């Protein structure tokens, strides 16, 4: 596995955890076309590598991500500009879908602004950690814009009723409200607390078999699109593959022998 060369993301692979830091702090880590492409390339690079156990998304500086960099995207008016905006917006939706379906565990740590596209990134995580003073939401309609690509993922996260309220009022809210709504799983007092909670989450992920996590995410991803009978058939196949494979055999042996399985030995 070779990680891509990036200009707007800082990538660091440590003990099977890939830390992806949005690295445009001068514009609150707003998303431009190049950053979106770098996110896509990073997710694609690790997709089939089970030695990468988790993807940790975070932001450099005071903010996680303030959404799209509208100045860099819009540019001039006219048909050519409109086509560029359509391409960027749709591409971001595709990248959100790729992150959402990544076989690795996806953890987002958010402080400061997590608005628009940044809020969308929170909503495609498996585990979200936010600070109490974080500011998140969907303020797009107050700018004359629809939330567009993030809406399906927000609805999947918190339900249609709450998503409609937030979008139609262009609401922003703090970390405590995000935790109440179910956007965030962990509510941290500050950056140090968030880092401690991240370490706990990553320890839990290391205790789980990477192949079993990938199979679990495949089952979860099919919940809304696959008839229940077919879904249960596929789930049985995943279960059998895992139980009769190397991970399942090792897991059951480790349980019987009262020791950690081999995948949990890595620090």
13 and 93 fall within a common domain: yes
34 and 166 fall within a common domain: yes
Model confidence at 265, pLDDT cuts 50, 70, 90, reads: low
235 and 116 fall within a common domain: no
184 and 141 fall within a common domain: yes
Question: Around Cβ 84, how many Cβ atoms within 10 Å?
Answer: 15
CATH number at residue 30: 3.90.226.10
Number of structural domains found in the chain: 2
Which DSSP state fits 191?
H
182 and 247 fall within a common domain: no
CATH number at residue 221: 1.10.12.10
In a domain, 2, yes or no: no
Place of tokens 């078999």: 209
Model confidence at 75, pLDDT cuts 50, 70, 90, reads: low
Share of the chain above pLDDT 70, in %: 97
Angle, CA of 110, 75 and 68, to the nearest 5°:
10
Range of the domain at 160: 9-206
Among candidate residues 162, 188, 206, the one where a domain is terminated: 206
How many angstroms separate the CA atoms of 128 and 109, rounded? 6
Name the residue among 231, 129, 137 with its Cα closest to residue 184: 129
Among candidate residues 158, 175, 206, the one where a domain is terminated: 206
82 and 202 fall within a common domain: yes
Q: What is the pLDDT of residues 96-114, one digit of tens each?
A: 999 999 999 999 999 999 9
Among candidate residues 206, 224, 250, the one where a domain is terminated: 206
How many angstroms separate the CA atoms of 212 and 148, rounded? 33
In a domain, 139, yes or no: yes
In a domain, 4, yes or no: no
78 and 58 fall within a common domain: yes
Model confidence at 267, pLDDT cuts 50, 70, 90, reads: very low
153 and 49 fall within a common domain: yes
Q: What is the mean predicted confidence (pLDDT) over 107-130?
A: 98
In a domain, 1, yes or no: no
Model-wide pTM > 0.85: yes
Token duo for residue 191:
């950056």
14 and 32 fall within a common domain: yes
Q: What is the pLDDT of residues 196-220, one digit of tens each?
A: 999 999 999 999 999 999 999 999 9
92 and 118 fall within a common domain: yes
Q: Which residues of 14-42 are buried (b: 16+ CB within 10 A; e: fewer)?
A: eebbbbbbbbbeeebbbbbbebbbbbbeb
Four-CA torsion 69, 71, 77, 82, nearest 10 degrees: -10
Give whole-number Cα distances, 200 to 3, 64, 159, in Å: 26, 20, 28
17 and 100 fall within a common domain: yes
How many angstroms separate the CA atoms of 120 and 116, rounded? 6
191 and 225 fall within a common domain: no
What's residue 76's pLDDT?
59
How many angstroms separate the CA atoms of 59 and 174, rounded? 17
Residues 6+ apart with CB under 8 A from 91: 33, 36, 37, 40
């Amino acid at each position: 596995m070779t990680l891509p060369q990036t200009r707007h993301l800082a990538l660091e692979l440590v003990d099977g955890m890939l830390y992806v830091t949005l690295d445009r702090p001068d514009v609150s880590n707003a998303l431009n076309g190049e950053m979106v492409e770098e996110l896509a390339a990073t997710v694609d690079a690790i997709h089939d590598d089970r030695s990468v156990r988790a993807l940790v998304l975070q932001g450099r500086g005071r903010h996680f991500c303030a959404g799209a960099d509208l100045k860099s995207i819009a540019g001039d008016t006219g048909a050519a500009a409109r086509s560029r905006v359509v391409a960027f917006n749709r591409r971001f939706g595709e990248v959100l879908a790729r992150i959402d379906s990544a076989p690795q565990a996806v953890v987002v740590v958010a402080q400061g602004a997590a608005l628009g596209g940044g809020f969308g990134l929170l909503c495609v995580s498996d585990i979200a950690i936010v600070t109490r003073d974080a500011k998140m939401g969907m303020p797009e309609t107050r700018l004359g814009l629809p939330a567009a690509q993030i809406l399906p993922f927000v609805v999947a996260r918190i339900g249609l009723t709450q998503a409609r309220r937030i979008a139609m009022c262009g609401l922003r809210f703090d970390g405590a409200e995000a935790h109440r709504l179910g956007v965030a799983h962990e509510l941290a007092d500050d950056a140090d607390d968030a880092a401690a909670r991240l370490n706990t989450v990553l320890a839990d992920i290391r205790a789980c078999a990477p192949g079993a996590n990938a199979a679990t995410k495949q089952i979860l991803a099919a919940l809304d699109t696959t008839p229940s009978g077919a879904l249960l058939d596929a789930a049985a196949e995943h279960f059998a593959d895992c139980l009769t494979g190397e991970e399942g055999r090792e897991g059951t042996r480790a349980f019987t022998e009262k020791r950690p399985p081999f995948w949990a030995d890595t620090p």
